[in-house]
Amino acid sequence: MTDARHMGHMAPLVRTAARTARTGTLPPLTFSQYRRFADEGDRLGYEEVYFRRRAHVTALAAEQLVEPGADTAALEDALWSVCDEYTWALPAHETHATAFDRGMDQCLDLFAALTAHLLAETVQGCGDRLDARVAARVRGAVEHRVLTLLADDDRPLLWEDWPHNWAAVCGGAAGLAALALWEPGPRLDRLLARVRAGMRTYLSGFAADGGCAEGVGYWAFGFAHFVYFAEELRERTGEDLLDEPRVRDVAGFPAAVHLGDGLFPAFSDAQERPELPAGLAHRLLERLGVRLPAVPRATALPRDWGDLSRTLWWGAPPLPDPAGAPDPGEGTRRLADLEWVVDRGAGRAFAAKGGHNAEPHNHNDLGHFVLCAAGEALLTDLGAGEYRKGSFDDATRYAFLHNSSLGHSVPVVAARPQSPGRRHAARVLRYEPVPDGVDYTLDLTAAYDVPGLTSLRRGFRWRRGPGGLVLTDEVTLGRGLALDEVFISRLPPERGSDGTVVWRGSRAEARLSLPDGCTAHPEAVATTDHDGHPDTVHRLRLRFELPVGVSVLRFAFTLHEAA
Helix, strand or coil, per DSSP, at residue 340: strand
Does residue 4 surpass a pLDDT of 60?
no
Question: Between the CA of residue 274 and those of 5, 258, 263, what are the distances in Å?
Answer: 26, 11, 8
* Spatial separation of the C-alpha atoms in residues 79 and 121, rounded to whole Å: 12
Residue 170: its pLDDT value, please? Answer: 98
Give residue 3's pLDDT band: very low, low, confident or very high (50, 70, 90).
very low
User: Hey, how many other C-beta atoms are within 10 angstroms of the C-beta on 60?
Assistant: 25
Dihedral, CA of residue 116, residue 122, residue 125 and residue 128, to nearest 10: -110
Strands (E), 328-426: 331-335, 340-345, 348-353, 356-357, 369-373, 376-379, 412-413, 421-425
Residue 298 lies in a domain: yes
Residues 348 and 224 in one domain: no
Model pLDDT for residues 224-278, shown as the tens digit of each residue: 999 999 999 999 999 999 998 899 999 999 999 999 999 999 999 999 999 999 9
Residues 402 and 285 in one domain: no
Residue 325 lies in a domain: no
Residues 430 and 289 in one domain: no
Does residue 498 surpass a pLDDT of 90?
no
Question: Between the CA of residue 342 and those of 17, 212, 223, 246, what are the distances in Å?
Answer: 39, 14, 21, 21
User: Which structural domain, as residue segments, surrounds residue 116?
Assistant: 88-314
Instruction: Decide: 59 and 52 in contact? Cβ < 8 Å.
Output: no
Looking at 314, 344, 367, which one is the last position of a domain?
Answer: 314
Looking at 254, 279, 314, which one is the last position of a domain?
Answer: 314
For residue 271, which phi and psi values (nearest 5 degrees)? Answer: -130, 150
Residue 153 lies in a domain: yes
CATH classification of the domain holding 394? 2.70.98.70
Residue 112 lies in a domain: yes
Looking at 262, 285, 314, which one is the last position of a domain?
Answer: 314
Helix, strand or coil, per DSSP, at residue 140: helix
Q: What is the mean pLDDT of the chain?
A: 94
Pairing of strands 369-373, 331-335: unpaired
Residues 374 and 466 in one domain: yes
For the entire predicted model, the pTM comes to 0.95
Instruction: Decide: 225 and 117 in contact? Cβ < 8 Å.
Output: no
Residue 2: its pLDDT value, please? Answer: 41
Instruction: Let me know if 471 is exposed, middle or buried by CB neighbors in 10 A (0-12, 13-18, 19+).
Output: buried
Q: Which residues pair with 510 in a beta bridge?
A: 503, 559
Residues 272 and 351 in one domain: no
Count of CA atoms in the C-beta half-sphere (13 A) of 55:
19
* Spatial separation of the C-alpha atoms in residues 351 and 462, rounded to whole Å: 10
For residue 65, which phi and psi values (nearest 5 degrees)? Answer: -80, -40
Residue 1: its pLDDT value, please? Answer: 42
Segment among 78-87, 204-213, 482-491 with least mean pLDDT: 204-213
User: Hey, how many other C-beta atoms are within 10 angstroms of the C-beta on 153?
Assistant: 13
Residues 392 and 494 in one domain: yes
Residues 350 and 288 in one domain: no
User: Hey, how many other C-beta atoms are within 10 angstroms of the C-beta on 129?
Assistant: 15
Residue 43: its pLDDT value, please? Answer: 95
Question: Between the CA of residue 68 and those of 60, 121, 450, 560, what are the distances in Å?
Answer: 11, 14, 66, 53
Contacts 24+ apart (CB under 8 A), 509-512: 509/373, 509/378, 509/559, 509/560, 509/562, 510/371, 510/373, 510/378, 510/379, 510/557, 510/558, 510/559, 510/560, 511/557, 511/558, 511/559, 511/560, 512/487, 512/555, 512/556, 512/557
Overall average pLDDT of the 97-122 stretch: 98
Residues 310 and 339 in one domain: no
Residue 328: its pLDDT value, please? Answer: 62
Residue 269 lies in a domain: yes
Residue 52 lies in a domain: no
Instruction: Decide: 531 and 484 in contact? Cβ < 8 Å.
Output: no
Residues 298 and 339 in one domain: no
Residue 330: its pLDDT value, please? Answer: 87
Does residue 320 surpass a pLDDT of 70?
no
Terminal CA-to-CA distance of the chain, rounded, Å? Answer: 52
For residue 313, which phi and psi values (nearest 5 degrees)? Answer: -80, -40
Does residue 104 surpass a pLDDT of 90?
yes
Residue 6: its pLDDT value, please? Answer: 56
Total domain count, the chain: 2
Residue 25 lies in a domain: no
Residue 34 lies in a domain: no
Q: Which residues pair with 373 in a beta bridge?
A: 348, 376
Residues 310 and 367 in one domain: no
* Spatial separation of the C-alpha atoms in residues 18 and 245, rounded to whole Å: 41
One-character DSSP codes across 206-253: S-TT---TT-HHHHHHHHHHHHHHHHHHHHHH---GGGSTTHHHHHTH
Helix, strand or coil, per DSSP, at residue 472: strand
Model pLDDT for residues 159-196, shown as the tens digit of each residue: 999 999 999 999 999 999 999 999 999 999 999 999 99
Q: Which residues pair with 550 in a beta bridge?
A: 476
Q: Mutual orientation of helices 44-66 and 110-126 as an angle, nearest 10°?
A: 20
Instruction: Decide: 481 and 551 in contact? Cβ < 8 Å.
Output: no
Residues 263 and 367 in one domain: no
Residue 515: its pLDDT value, please? Answer: 87
Task: Report, in angstroms and rounded to the nearest whole number, the Rg of the chain calculated over CA atoms.
Answer: 25
Instruction: Let me know if 141 is exposed, middle or buried by CB neighbors in 10 A (0-12, 13-18, 19+).
Output: buried
Overall average pLDDT of the 485-499 stretch: 92
The total number of residues shown for the chain amounts to 563
Does residue 451 surpass a pLDDT of 80?
yes
Does residue 324 surpass a pLDDT of 60?
no
* Sheet order of strands, 481-489 included: 412-413, 481-489, 534-546, 519-528
Residues 356 and 387 in one domain: yes
